[in-house]
Amino acid sequence: MSDVPSVDPLRIGIAGIGNISGQYLATLPRLAGVRVSAVADIDPARAAAVAGPGIRALTPAELLAADDVDLVLNLTVPAAHAEVALAAVAAGKHVYNEKPLALSTVDGRQILEAADAAGVRVGCAPDTVLGTGTQTARRRLDGGGIGVPVAATAFMVSPGPELWHPNPAFFYGTAAGPCWTWARTT
């Protein structure tokens, strides 16, 4: 028997059923601590297409008001991130935003301050830094495994999201992705 007390799963409502939502919908059912209870999109057909047993298709407003949603998983386009996150916080929900948190640090701070005041929590992608690769590297660094690093370099090269994304315009918009957010708005 485990000493870990059992807790009810965190009930997730997904806002934005686009390209990336499939990965979340495939992965989240494997985690015991969470349960997707509702989905919503400004295009109702997108939400309806992934609804099923235990997952209700709602309008975005219904999702924010739903009693069976503890956390809004914000998978909308970047331009809608702050608005959706602030509405979720105002409704008393925790929020996890896809990246970027918001299009500006002003909006990002507003989300964090509103969440602090409301007593809810905010998370944001990318959470891949918590994965085994980065954490193993961090552990080796912290443990002195490679001595004192004097320099670091990293590259990520891609021919562009238009090769695989059906609607890639936002990737080229303001504050698209975490690097742009920090480079252009701080």
Site for ligand NAD, rule CB under 6 A: 15-21, 40-43, 46, 60, 75-78, 80, 84, 98-99, 165, 167
Smaller CB distance to ligand NAD: residue 79 or 141?
79
Task: Report strand pairing: 71-74 vs 122-124.
Answer: unpaired
Within 8 A by CB and 6+ apart from 167, the residues are 18, 19
Q: Which is nearer to ligand NAD, 21 or 37 (CB)?
A: 21
**Chain residue whose CB lies nearest ligand NAD:** 18
Least separation in angstroms between CB 139 and ligand NAD: 26
Q: Hey, is 185 helix, strand or coil?
A: helix
Using alpha carbons, select from 80, 81, 63 the residue that is nearest to residue 72.
63
DSSP at 2: -
CA dist., res. 110 & res. 86, Å (int):
8
* In the complex, minimum distance from the CB of residue 143 to ligand NAD, in angstroms, rounded to a whole number: 31
Least distance between ligand NAD and beta carbon 166 (Å): 7
161's tokens: 């999201």
Q: Which is nearer to ligand NAD, 97 or 120 (CB)?
A: 97
